[in-house]
Amino acid sequence: MSIKRFWIILAVCGATASVAVAQSATDRVDVRREVKALSTGLTATAMSPSPAPGGGDTDSFGRNVVFDGLVQSGYVYFQADCTIVDPSNPLGPNDRCITLNAAPGPTNFDAPDIGQLTIPGKSAHSVFCHWLTPLASYSFQNSTGSFQPNAKFHLSPYVVVENPVLNDPSLIDPTTSLPFNGKLLSGFAAAYQDAQSLDPGQTASRTFSETRVCIAGFISKSALMGTYGLTDAQAKEFFKKDSILHFGLRGNLTLVDNGYVTYGLRVVGD
């Protein structure tokens, strides 16, 4: 087996595992988008006797990495009662408190716009890439008096991107079948999930921090054309205009007693 073919098989196997772990439709879309971009590049490189520079990402080949800004999200707290506020530590404008449902009922939440960043036009040529780092701490507790098989802590970050090119009413977002109205929703293929069973009275605490570095980027010229239906000219114009990022977080919690999470997002371009 050739080395190139080995890496293609390895990439596809890793992609399949990632898709299996992702629980929501949004997570699966994010993973498949990155896997498709990676697999296309690797396949093109392996099949061509004279591989094109840059593989499947020729628009960014040979270009310098440019730092396009940093977002530190607010804190998202998970509590049984969000009316209890520490007067010495009130919630900031980007902080959120999610009220947890009584055990063993699940808590589904969406915390939009917990961090913002404006990227000036022409800061990138064809891609916005992410260095995404969460910091989270949380506790499971089984107070139901019976065995519970499905304690879960699941997070799925996303970003809403505003750009003037998307104001064109003739542009239809294929993910919603509606006009973009100036913005689109993208993700990071960076879902986190912890799940376990709990005996009556059992507790468990976790703290984690990890960094997800992009492959295909959360916005790229190829995605704007292939996923969102923009023309080549529109995709090029997109990167010439200012883009405003609104960072958000969705999740699903079961038998979580309390916790918090915050994200750092470093954006780089080409």
pTM: 0.80
Cβ–Cβ under 8 Å, residues 187 and 157: yes
Name 196's bridge partners: 151
Name 149's bridge partners: none
pLDDT for the residue numbered 14: 41
pLDDT for the residue numbered 55: 55
129 burial type by CB count under 10 A (0-12 exposed, 13-18 middle, 19+ buried): buried
> Is 136 contained in some domain?
yes
pLDDT for the residue numbered 10: 36
pLDDT for the residue numbered 23: 43
> Is 26 contained in some domain?
no
Instruction: Say which amino acid occupies 60.
Output: S
252: number of Cβ within 10 Å: 17
pLDDT for the residue numbered 41: 40
> Is 172 contained in some domain?
yes
Which residues form the domain of 165?
60-269
The per-residue pLDDT string of the chain (270 residues; one tens digit each, 9 = 90 and over) reads: 443 333 333 333 443 333 333 344 545 444 455 445 444 443 433 333 444 444 567 888 888 999 999 999 999 999 999 998 788 889 999 999 999 999 999 999 999 999 999 999 999 999 999 999 999 999 999 999 999 999 999 999 999 999 999 999 999 999 999 999 999 999 998 999 999 999 999 999 999 999 999 888 999 999 999 999 999 999 999 999 999 999 999 999 999 999 999 999 999 999
> Is 78 contained in some domain?
yes
Query: For tokens 């929501």, what's the residue?
Result: 24
pLDDT for the residue numbered 86: 82
> How far are the Cα atoms of 162, 182, 225, 248, 262 from residue 130, in angstroms, in the given order?
17, 22, 20, 14, 16
> Is 91 contained in some domain?
yes
Contacts of 165 by beta carbon, 8 Å cutoff, 6+ apart: 171, 230, 234, 237, 238, 241
Judge if the upstream peptide bond of residue 106 is cis by omega within 30 degrees of 0. Answer: no
> Is 170 contained in some domain?
yes
> Is 139 contained in some domain?
yes
Query: For tokens 């913002």, what's the residue?
Result: 116
> Is 227 contained in some domain?
yes
Total domain count, the chain: 1
